[in-house]
A and B are shown apart, each in its own frame.
Chain A
Amino acid sequence: MVNSQELIQILTKINEKIAENKDYLTQLDSAIGDADHGINMSKGFKAVVDRISQMKDKDCGSILKTAGMTLVSTVGGASGPLYGTAFMRAGQVVGSKTELNFDDFISLLEAALEGIKLRGKAQRGEKTIIDSLEPAIEAIKKHKEEGEAAALKRVVEAAKEGVEYTKKIVARKGRASYLGERSLGHQDPGATSCYLMLKTVVDWITENKGL
């Protein structure tokens, strides 16, 4: 489905998407956090692209692990070690493969989620990245039998619903947790950046793999 060179293309697209949404993510973060999510994420992903652009001859695991290590040392906010851990775990799961299939995609998402949960000591319903990522993974598994195109479409829908859900819950983790009830009504920036990444991956696969 996706080889090393294509994985680099997808990560490059994620960088573009985050850069386009830099002000939007920062604006969401200024309502309930420290107003730096867009800036931090765009710094991080720009560094990722600089670091992996010459890695097309490497395996997918090395590319994902390099992306994770780069995020850890360049993002600055909590999303650095959280997304960094997610990409490093994803890299461990796919290992030395130079081509990823649909099941690999599910496995790497599951590993990423597990990494974020452990690193952040967080679970669903606390207004974090997990609120869009976990429902997306449940959706892809649930609709897998309907075919790849249908399942991928569900990923984006579920992640989007997860983002909407964060408006209805109180933040229990991160800077927003200091606001308590006052975080209600606001959309979580981390859940949003995760949705944007998932949508970018799905859009790329749909467009380039004729789904």
Chain B
Amino acid sequence: MVGILLVSHSLKIAQGTLELIGQMTKGKVRIDIAAGTADNRLGTDAQMIKQKIEKTHSGDGVLVLVDLGSAVISTELAIENLDEPLKSTTLIADAPFVEGAVVAALEASFGKNLEEVKKLTEDVKKYSKLG
């Protein structure tokens, strides 16, 4: 199963998003968070992200959802520092954080492969909230 990693500056944002997802997937998905700094400030930590990717990866790849600026930069650095085959099977989704995370988790739980989960997650950008 594709793993999902939520990278946010805020531990609360990541935990809250995880809670939302849990309502729908009921534990049937490999998902984890890498959020805030090791000393509990707002921020991201490339080393922490790298370790969480390694933990979440089961061989089918990991899709990473990111919030703002440094989440992207830290995740890119974390991926660069991974060993193969993890390096080429960890991708960042260019998608809104909360909606993207929900879709990614659902699609992963349905057994879609990494490319499919990424595509469907990024399609979230096309949704209109107001119909």
Most buried by B among A39, A78, A84: A78
Give the dominant DSSP class at A's interface.
Answer: helix
A53-87 at interface with B (beta carbon < 8 Å): 69, 72-78, 80-82, 84-85
State how many angstroms separate the Cβ of B68 from the closest Cβ of chain A: 7
A73-B47, A77-B70, A175-B68 are known contacts. Are A34 and B42 too (CB-CB below 8 A)? yes
Which chain A residue shows the least CB distance to B43? A76
Are A175 and B74 closer than 8 Å at their CB atoms? no
Are A81 and B74 closer than 8 Å at their CB atoms? yes
What total of chain A residues lie within 8 Å of the partner, measured CB to CB? 23
- Chain A residues within an 8 Å CB radius of B37: 74, 76
B22-76 at interface with A (beta carbon < 8 Å): 37-39, 41-48, 68-70, 73-74, 76
Which chain B residue shows the least CB distance to A71? B46
- Chain B residues within an 8 Å CB radius of A74: 37-38, 45
Provide a sorted-by-A list of 15 A–B residue pairs whose CB atoms are within 8 angstroms: A72-B45, A72-B77, A73-B38, A74-B37, A75-B43, A76-B44, A76-B45, A80-B43, A80-B46, A81-B70, A81-B76, A84-B77, A119-B73, A119-B77, A173-B69
- Chain B residues within an 8 Å CB radius of A73: 38, 45-48
Q: In the complex, what distance in Å separates the CA atom of A173 from the CA atom of B72? A: 12
Mark interface residues in A31-51 (1 if CB within 8 Å of B CB, else 0): 000101001100100000000
Q: Is A95 an interface residue (CB 8 A)?
A: no
Are A174 and B69 closer than 8 Å at their CB atoms? yes
Which chain B residue shows the least CB distance to A76? B43
- Chain B residues within an 8 Å CB radius of A69: 47
Contact residue among B42, B46, B68, B69 (Cβ-Cβ distance under 8 Å from A72)? B46
